[in-house]
Amino acid sequence: MTLEQPRRVGILGGGQLAMMLCEAASAIDLETIVLTPDSESQAAHWATQMIYADLDDEAAVAQLIELADVITYELEDIPLSTLKALTCAVVDGSAQVYPSPKTLAKLQNKGLQKHWLRNNHLATAPFYTLSGEAQADLAQANKLSLPLVQKAERGGYDGRGVQVLRSQSDLAELWPVASFLEPFVEHELELAVVVARSTTGEMRCFQPVHLIFDGDDNILDTVTSPANISDQVAADALALATRAITALDDAGVFAVEMFLTTTGELLINEISPRVHNAGHLTIEASAVSQFELQLRAVTGMALPETHSLHAAVMKNVLFSEPLTGLCDNDATIFANSTGDVVTHWYGKKGSKPKRKMGHITALADSPSRAAEKAEAGMLSLIKRAQEGAA
């Protein structure tokens, strides 16, 4: 470990978030070392060095600790054995790790996260722990009013590990896993505030964005900035997110997802200890991107202002059959990108339905105009895919 400004950033995970982190790192003269099991990792093009191994491969984690000045993550589902190795490295001074393994262990388990939110008096829906034992869990569920939402403690993302139970007969479908139940929160909309906190304690927030999920699968579909909420709700959302991340007392970028309930309350749904799909539009729409902020936050560099330069809408490009014609393209910003409609293509090979293949960010002087442009960008991408060219 060096006492100088850290310059070599180790990243656990090699998907599109790591790719965009590496891209941002090269622009501010930081080196990146990515550990991923994926031989077709999207990060490979931008990373200074790749280590191809499972995230719980002891020797590979040791190599990352050896090579990096500071280690961070692109995903929260880091194996517990790796978190233990990172904790030891922090204790013996051989690595700096942000967010800390302790924070990751707390947030990657949705049950522990809910307890932490409640213990810190951060507004969140009530919850009832289920052990995974079918009889006892059914008895617990029967005491509660429907509709309910069951959430697995570990391993869920993009809506996997979350199910809505609307009727008595749905209760027969309870998953027999360590999980919890929440009442279904009737909400006006879902918001996210992306917050950066540096190793020095300096903090920056992006303005609240509106999240729209794909109805069937709960995969994020569209993000709008700014969210169409009152100044008061925006200020309250920023205050709640700031309070949560101050309580975490750690460094990195965090996405605080919230419900604005039909009764006007803000409830934290979950906090992700990493750059987030809700913040992709900051690449073009803000004075600094969430990716650069994460790198600055974990290396202790000053955090620039985060103000918006434009209204923006980001749409995820989820795989569907018509996109097959584009799947041979490498990661790129497509040639059909214009100054105000930018298509990011992650370069994932062969694909399964609804996989995130890329995203489109459209900029305008109003969110509604940005939405129109994003929609047109999506249609033009599909048309190009059908023509078999980017």
Residues that bind ligand ADP (CB under 6 A): 125, 149, 151, 156-162, 182, 184-185, 190, 213, 218, 257, 269-270
Torsion of CA 46, 51, 53, 57, to 10 degrees: -130
Nearer to ligand ADP, 277 or 329 (CB): 277
Nearer to ligand ADP, 38 or 77 (CB): 77
Quick check: 28 and 296 in contact, CB under 8 A? yes
Nearest distance in Å: CB 125, ligand ADP: 5
Q: How far apart, in whole angstroms, are the C-alpha atoms of residue 280 and residue 267?
A: 23
Residue 189 exposure: Cα atoms within 13 Å on the Cβ side: 17
Complete DSSP assignment for 206-241: PPPEEEEEETTTTEEEEEEES-S--HHHHHHHHHHH
What single-letter amino acid sits at 380? S
Nearer to ligand ADP, 25 or 125 (CB): 125
Nearer to ligand ADP, 2 or 228 (CB): 228
Nearest distance in Å: CB 29, ligand ADP: 34
Nearest distance in Å: CB 267, ligand ADP: 8
Nearest Cα to 257, choosing from 223, 291, 289, 297? 223
Residues ≥6 apart with Cβ < 8 Å to 159: 213, 217, 218, 219
Q: How far apart, in whole angstroms, are the C-alpha atoms of residue 207 and residue 204?
A: 10
For CA atoms 171, 174, 179, 183, give the dihedral sign.
negative
Decide the pairing of beta strands 341-345 and 356-364: antiparallel
Nearer to ligand ADP, 31 or 190 (CB): 190
Nearest distance in Å: CB 357, ligand ADP: 19
Quick check: 37 and 78 in contact, CB under 8 A? no
Nearer to ligand ADP, 175 or 184 (CB): 184
Q: Which residue is nearest to ligand ADP (CB)?
A: 185
Which residue bears the tokens 């993550």? Answer: 73
What single-letter amino acid sits at 300? G
Nearer to ligand ADP, 185 or 378 (CB): 185
Nearest distance in Å: CB 186, ligand ADP: 8
Nearer to ligand ADP, 339 or 353 (CB): 353
Nearest distance in Å: CB 110, ligand ADP: 7
| Omega within 30 of 0 (cis) for the link into 147 | yes
Nearest distance in Å: CB 213, ligand ADP: 5
Nearest distance in Å: CB 337, ligand ADP: 28
Helix (DSSP H) and strand (DSSP E) numbers for the chain: 10, 19
Nearer to ligand ADP, 23 or 190 (CB): 190
Q: Decide: helix, strand or coil at residue 30.
A: coil
Quick check: 381 and 360 in contact, CB under 8 A? yes
Nearer to ligand ADP, 224 or 343 (CB): 224
For the beta carbon of residue 43, count every other beta carbon within 10 angstroms. 26
Nearest distance in Å: CB 127, ligand ADP: 9
Q: How far apart are the first and last CA of the chain?
A: 44
Nearest distance in Å: CB 355, ligand ADP: 15
